[in-house]
Structure 1
Amino acid sequence: MDFKPIKTKKIYEEIVEQVKQMIVHGDLSPGDKLLPERELAEKLQVGRSAVREAYRSLEAIGVIEIKPGEGTFVREMGSKSMTDIISLAVLTGKNSIAELLELRKIVEVEAAALAAQRRTEEDMQMIQLALDEMENDIKKGNLGDASDIRFHYAICAAAHNSLLIKLMSSISETMKKEMFTVREKLYKTPGTPARLFEEHKNIFEAIKKGDPHKARATMFINLDNAEKGFMKG
């Protein structure tokens, strides 16, 4: 267990992040026993209360299990706990949001292509509705993060892949936080709302025409621009 000394104001979050990274990279596996609070606090050179708070947070989202009299153990990772890990990662730093944007490019670009091939009239109505809501948000000066999420989710639904829909549903809460944060930053640049709407309109038109290549390209442009815009500064 190669923990590193903590040097940050949000100490418990850093502890949580280190544990999460160890699980992701395979340094910690289900069933492994973590160090006792006092021993870990000494190793990390932090207060015991910070370790206790980190352990409680990890237990609350189902990552670890605290067994009185036995110790603290890594739990078997189910879909819910992995979703919570993604959510926690997004909340702990800029790089994690960038990683989620990368994940969305990997998933949603191909989803748009599938939607262009498989969409029904009802699917197009749902995408159109979300696009109309986005346009109204822009006219009212709102961020439009909620309508943006509905737009992208409707496209994934139009791909008619049950596993894709489950994946998007599982990270929907995380996407809400990400979308708000990203749009809040992007909107500081003049002309961004109109550009974003045009990008989404292009995606809609490509799917409506049944052009998977154009749908793939326009979705990539939208998500890539969001990623680049967020990473500036």
Structure 2
Amino acid sequence: MELKPIKTRKIYEEIVEQIRELVVRGELKPGDKLPSERDLVERLKVSRASIREALSALEMMGLLEVRSGEGTFMRRLKPESVIAPLAWMLSIEKGTVQELLEVRKILEVQAAKLAAQRAQADDLRELEDALENMRQEIVNPELGGEKADLQFHYAITRATDNKILILIMDAISDMMQQMLKTSREKLYQGKYTPNILYSEHAQIYEAIKRKDPKQASEYILEHLSGVEEELNSHIE
């Protein structure tokens, strides 16, 4: 297997990336034994501490298994662990609210379109539950609305029945919830109120329910663009 010398300040992340590439290329498979720490130090030209940091991170992701007296082996991945490296990287590189909103527009506009085409009865019930939770915030503002908001958008993704899209949403869900929590106060300082947010989400739901992909995608784009514009006005 080919490993390259490290030439970056974030050494352990580069080690993680190289091992990930070996997995993608099929050079490392479940059950394969990794080279020893000493071998990795020599081949990657980094410190033993950096190697241990990278291996520890990979083990926490569930990608490696350390067997006492035997060495370190690749684990057989569970579906939910495939997205773990992305979620882990996102926890390090927080990014900005602007960047997250850009990603959400890229993902969720298409997700709404697919949801309108594929949503089943249980998907619609999940969306209805989220809307009801958002409605409760109007009556009881102290409840906060970020959890119901995230529940609604996640339900749209689930309704696409696209496993990869759902895994990606899993990876960014923590960031989304944090963003929704911190941005809500700013939204309420401008044109947005719980009533308006509820109304915009209800529009999206109705378009999905009547199986109108064009309207569903337009409504969610309008909603996300409105939120982006309002938040940018506070930054400026």
**TM-score tier (shorter):** 0.5 to 0.7
Q: Which stretch of the first structure deviates more once superposed, 85-94 or 202-211?
A: 202-211
Counterpart in the other structure of 1:221: 222
Counterpart in the other structure of 1:81: 81
Which ranges in structure 1 are unaligned for 5 or more consecutive residues? 7-13
> Aligned partners of 1:71 and 1:55: how far apart in 2?
12
Which ranges in structure 2 are unaligned for 5 or more consecutive residues? none
Query: Counterparts of 1:119-198 in structure 2 under 5 Å?
Result: 119=119, 123-137=123-137, 139-159=140-160, 161=161, 164=162, 166-167=163-164, 170=167, 173-189=170-186, 190-191=189-190, 192=192, 194=194, 196-198=197-199
> Aligned partners of 2:228 and 2:18: how far apart in 1?
26
Measure how far apart 1:171 and its partner are.
5.0
* Contact 2:116–2:211 under 8 Å retained in 1: yes
Query: Counterparts of 1:32-111 in structure 2 under 5 Å?
Result: 33=34, 36=37, 39=41, 43-44=45-46, 48-49=48-49, 51-66=51-66, 79-95=79-95, 104-111=104-111
* Contact 1:34–1:74 under 8 Å retained in 2: no
Counterpart in the other structure of 1:19: 15
Measure how far apart 1:203 and its partner are.
1.1
* Contact 2:16–2:54 under 8 Å retained in 1: no
With normalisation by structure 2, the TM-score equals 0.66
CA-atom RMSD in angstroms: 4.1
Total equivalences in the alignment? 218
For residues 189-218 of structure 1, the C-alpha deviation after alignment (integer angstroms, 9 at most, x for no partner) is 224554543432331232234321110112
> Aligned partners of 2:130 and 2:225: how far apart in 1?
21
* Contact 1:145–1:183 under 8 Å retained in 2: yes
Measure how far apart 1:58 and its partner are.
0.8
Larger radius of gyration: 2
With normalisation by structure 1, the TM-score equals 0.67
Measure how far apart 1:130 and its partner are.
0.6
Counterpart in the other structure of 1:10: none
* Contact 2:34–2:74 under 8 Å retained in 1: yes
* Contact 1:22–1:28 under 8 Å retained in 2: no
Instruction: Indicate how the Cα distance of structure 1 residues 122 and 85 shifts in structure 2: closer, same or farther if over 3 A, else same.
Output: closer
